[in-house]
């Protein structure tokens, strides 16, 4: 079987996790890596046995041996690197948050659609065994219609103005980086919210360091999300219907089990897996490419854009000058 050939842009923390997960995925290999520095590309190439090493992104985009680009830079660069890769004829898997705002997300989606190329936001949660189980349990009606989602993801980080999470120029802040997981869960379970009410605490560097939002979804359904970079929180989620609820334990974006509670009792379902779990989203890209799909049915571009719109709506209420 011919392997799908990947190029990685941004050889940082998550790119290393991706390269480890590639060992567990079916039918792919990383053939090239691009950094802003040749030295760092060489180091990543040595570490993971990658033959192509580039000191700039354009050279990777021009590499005829690359089928699909994984954009793993900070979010400030996602639009530029995704558009450049698509314009060079490559399929793209772009890390979350897909973009800094919905306007960028729409431009990226339009480029892929115009070129007939595959594009997906790397919301890996949706491909994990726990999220597959969650979808099945809801579809089976075990908790009734889902009416509420409560979801939290955050952790205390020492305020470091050099770290990307505290840098506005790199798209830092809790909301875009961490809050996207509770928000995407609300979208996945309850649909697109009609209204959003949010409060946020902005830190010294100008990024949001605490956020709480209530999402009003169609048919009287509510999502309640919290995220932050200051408090130690439980990082769990709970999906409730009239007949019961489903608990996602910490960390709610990548749990290894889930518990369903109904009047009949509680059942904990094992959802453990090998490795860091990123192999499931890689498998999805491979499956979609093999089937000639330009979007994943599990993480379609319409969902990505809708999630970006919700993040924009929250952001506009907590950063009064941040719209656009």
The catalytic residues are 96
CB 189, min distance to ligand NAP, A: 20
Q: How far is the CB of 3 from ligand NAP (least distance, A)?
A: 23
Q: How many Å from the N-terminal Cα to the C-terminal Cα in the chain?
A: 45
CB of 71 to ligand NAP, least distance (A): 8
Closer to ligand NAP by CB, 8 or 246: give it.
8
Considering the complex, state which of residue 262 and residue 276 has its C-beta at the smaller distance from ligand NAP. 276
For helices 13-22 and 279-290, what crossing angle results, to 10°?
A: 60
Of residues 54 and 118, the one with the C-beta less far from ligand NAP: 54
What distances in angstroms separate CA 195 from CA 133, 217, 225, 272, 307, one per listed residue?
Answer: 28, 7, 14, 35, 13
Q: What does the DSSP 8-state code read for residue 175?
A: I
Q: Which residues bind ligand NAP (CB under 6 A)?
A: 10-14, 35-37, 40, 72-77, 95-96, 122, 124, 164, 170, 177
Separation between Cα atoms, residue 51 and residue 35, nearest integer Å: 14
Q: At CA 112, angle to CA 106 and CA 113, rounded to 5?
A: 85
What residue is closest to ligand NAP based on CB? 12
Please state, in angstroms and as integers, the Cα–Cα distance from residue 316 to each residue in 172, 308, 320, following that order: 15, 12, 5
Select 65 or 169, whichever has its Cβ closest to ligand NAP: 169
Tokens 């726990």 found at:
130
Distances (CA, A) of 18 to 126, 169, 192, 246, 273: 16, 25, 29, 29, 15
Q: Where are the beta strands (DSSP E) in 64-191?
A: 68-71, 91-95, 119-122, 146-154
214 backbone dihedrals φ, ψ, rounded to 5°: -115, 130
Q: At 219, is the secondary structure helix, strand, or coil?
A: coil
| Residue placing its CB nearer to ligand NAP in the complex, 118 or 127 | 127
173 backbone φψ class: left, alpha, beta (φ>0; ψ -120 to 50): left
Segment (H or E) for 138: helix 129-139
CA distance 126 to 29: 22
Q: How many CA atoms lie within 13 A of 216 on its CB side?
A: 6
For ligand NAP, which is the closer residue by CB, 176 or 313?
176
**Closest approach of Cβ 264 to ligand NAP, in Å?**
35
Cis peptide before 219 (omega within 30 of 0): no
- Closest separation between CB of residue 153 and ligand NAP, Å? 11
Q: Which is nearer to ligand NAP, 40 or 273 (CB)?
A: 40
Q: Measured from the CB of residue 115, what is the shortest distance to ligand NAP in angstroms?
A: 23
Q: To the nearest whole angstrom, how small is the minimum distance from the Cβ of residue 172 to ligand NAP?
A: 10
């Amino acid at each position: 079987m011919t392997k799908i050939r990947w190029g990685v842009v941004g050889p940082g923390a998550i790119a290393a996790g991706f390269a480890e997960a590639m060992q567990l995925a079916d039918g792919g290999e990383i053939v090239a890596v691009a950094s802003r520095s040749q030295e760092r590309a060489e180091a990543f190439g040595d570490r993971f046995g990658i033959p192509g090493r580039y000191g700039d992104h354009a050279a990777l985009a021009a590499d005829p041996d690359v089928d699909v680009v994984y954009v793993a830079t900070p979010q400030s660069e996602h639009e530029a690197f995704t558009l450049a890769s698509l314009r060079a004829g490559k399929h793209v898997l772009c890390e979350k948050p897909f973009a800094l705002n919905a306007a960028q997300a729409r431009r990226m989606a339009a480029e892929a659609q115009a070129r007939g190329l595959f594009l997906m936001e790397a919301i890996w949660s949706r491909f994990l065994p726990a999220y597959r189980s969650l979808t099945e349990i809801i579809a089976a009606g075990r908790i009734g219609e889902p009416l509420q989602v409560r979801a939290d993801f955050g952790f205390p980080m020492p305020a470091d103005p050099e770290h990307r999470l505290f840098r506005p120029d790199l798209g830092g802040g809790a909301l875009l980086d961490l809050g996207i997981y509770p928000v995407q869960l609300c979208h996945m379970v309850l649909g697109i919210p009609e209204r959003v009410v949010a409060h946020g605490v902005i830190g010294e560097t100008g990024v949001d360091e605490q956020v709480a939002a209530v999402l009003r979804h169609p048919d009287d359904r509510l999502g309640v999300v919290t995220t932050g970079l200051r408090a130690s929180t439980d990082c769990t989620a709970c999906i409730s219907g009239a007949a019961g609820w489903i608990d996602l334990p910490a960390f709610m974006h990548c749990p290894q089990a889930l518990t369903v509670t109904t009047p009949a009792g509680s059942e904990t379902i094992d959802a453990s897996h090998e490795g860091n779990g990123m192999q499931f989203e890689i498998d999805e890209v491979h499956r979609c490419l093999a089937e000639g799909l330009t979007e994943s049915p599990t993480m379609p571009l319409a969902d990505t854009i809708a999630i970006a719109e919700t993040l924009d709506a929250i952001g506009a209420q907590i950063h009064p000058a941040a719209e656009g």
